Structure 1
């Protein structure tokens, strides 16, 4: 029988494994730390199975009650802590979904017409790709310094002050370069 590949151990997975071990020993502080570190992910698992947030939150509470009781069963050699926790959450959410009355589990197909589809249409996707292409062409026409400043300011979220400090230029100059670059971009995009 071939050996299973060794899973990658990150500092975070080792920390969670350790917390579960401490929870198995009855450590309430470790349980609280485990909850803070994993509850968001596990709520997401529950919400994928149970679209009703109140139901998902109830299941999440059951998950952590179960973890408190069954932490001694966790084996770090078989799975990571987050995998083990997610499996418990998924199984409990599925059990809850199966226990719900039929009207809550399924909606009538006639309701499908009433559900808004917020995804972009193929036309909107094509227009967005065209806009992206035009923007990139216009960005390439800018002077290298202005292009770099605009990319850093608008795509990386850097402030004017941060940019001035990074390149060692006065704040007013940086603002002027960006303003002129944006004017050039606007003119290029409008042509």
Structure 2
């Protein structure tokens, strides 16, 4: 029930943002930024990059709040996709890929267990997602995690697991449908 109430609240905030309500945007940011930062950080593995991706994603969320369609998914899912796409765009820039090898996770404070991003990932919602992922085939789960968790494109996933791109896309699509159905229960 709490997830449904939270989803309704976020949907209302997005609706108010689409009308230019800055206080709604502040409230939306406060309610979602820790979780969305965690997603950006998971993909980019660098605090500064995750912050940059998150900032750009919130600009897009503000500008395109009116494009959120409740019939196509939950508000948090829509925002996660905005952050994920922004993070992947940033990751694909050559200067970010080249510098990736310089990152040392042992020196990055965001990797400790007492930070908001780590706590967001262990939230009840994350536990629900993990439960739903456990109901997938190994292939579906691996492809989804490589794509959404590690930031690989379907072509990169296909090359990594030595399978055709079409097969990988099918596993991802079918797996996501199963996860969505599981989360909606």
Q: Structure 2 length as normaliser, TM-score?
A: 0.52
Deviation at 1:42, TM superposition (A): 0.4
Deviation at 1:9, TM superposition (A): 6.4
Hey, what does 1:39 align to over in structure 2?
A: 33
Q: Report the Cα distance in structure 2 between the residues aligned to 1:27 and 1:98, rounded to whole angstroms.
A: 33
Q: Does 1:15 align with 2:9?
A: yes
Does the Cα contact within 8 Å between 1:23 and 1:31 map onto a contact in 2? yes
3-state DSSP of counterpart to 1:77: helix
Q: Report the Cα distance in structure 2 between the residues aligned to 1:66 and 1:98, rounded to whole angstroms.
A: 18
The superposition leaves residues 130-168 of structure 1 with CA deviations (integer Å, 9 ceiling, x where unpaired) of: xxxxxxxxxxxxxxxxxxxxxxxxxxxxxxxxxxxxxxx
Following TM superposition, the consecutive aligned residue runs of length 4 or more in structure 1 with deviations greater than 6 angstroms are none
1:95 aligns with one of 73, 84, 89:
89
Does the Cα contact within 8 Å between 1:97 and 1:105 map onto a contact in 2? no
Hey, what does 2:100 align to over in structure 1?
A: 105
3-state DSSP of counterpart to 1:10: helix
The superposition leaves residues 75-111 of structure 1 with CA deviations (integer Å, 9 ceiling, x where unpaired) of: 011011100000000000011011042422346xxx9
* Structure (1/2) with the larger helix percentage: 2
Q: Which runs of 5+ in 2 are unaligned?
A: 105-185
Q: Does 1:51 align with 2:58?
A: no
Q: Structure 1 length as normaliser, TM-score?
A: 0.50
2:23 aligns with one of 21, 29, 35:
29
Superposed, 1:1-191 pairs within 5 Å as: 10-101=4-95, 102-106=97-101
Q: Report the Cα distance in structure 2 between the residues aligned to 1:55 and 1:47, rounded to whole angstroms.
A: 8
Aligned CA RMSD, in angstroms, stands at 2.5
Q: Report the Cα distance in structure 2 between the residues aligned to 1:67 and 1:44, rounded to whole angstroms.
A: 17
Q: Report the Cα distance in structure 1 between the residues aligned to 2:66 and 2:92, rounded to whole angstroms.
A: 28
Q: Report the Cα distance in structure 1 between the residues aligned to 2:41 and 2:68, rounded to whole angstroms.
A: 24
Q: Report the Cα distance in structure 1 between the residues aligned to 2:25 and 2:65, rounded to whole angstroms.
A: 10
Aligned length: 104
